[in-house]
Amino acid sequence: MDACNCIEPQWPPDDLLMKYQYISDFFIALAYFSTPPELINLWTFTMHTRTVAMAMTTAVVSRATALMLVHIIPDVLSVKTRELFLKIKAAELDREMGLIRTQEET
């Protein structure tokens, strides 16, 4: 099993996975943001049916959600950062209280 004719990868596996993830995220975002304009074109050039109206409404809501996420995600990340900071501070205070109690007992 030691004699392997394996081809060495060009990048470490983690970097390769990250590159594929960035590429796939780009194409997902491209598809996500191109849906509403295409549905508006469909609305303009065909009969106004309920199905088209529902699809257009869904597309508008999807775009609004995507735009809101751009503003909400940094806030959510800052909350997580604050939570981690507070946990670290609480652990430090617990340690200091333990030291103070030990000093008082001695």
pTM: 0.36
SS3 34: helix
**What pLDDT is attached to residue 58?**
79
pLDDT, averaged per 10 consecutive residues of the chain (106 residues), comes to: 59 72 86 74 64 75 82 81 87 92 88
3-state secondary structure the chain: CCCCCCCCCCCCHHHHHHHHHHHHHHHHHHHHHHHHHHHHHHHHHCCCCHHHHHHHHHHHHHHHHHHHHHHHHHHHHHHHHHHHHHHHHHHHHHHHHHHHHHHHHC
Residue type, 81: T
The domain segmentation of the chain, as residue ranges, is 13-105
Record the tokens describing residue 44, joined without a space.
Answer: 């303009």
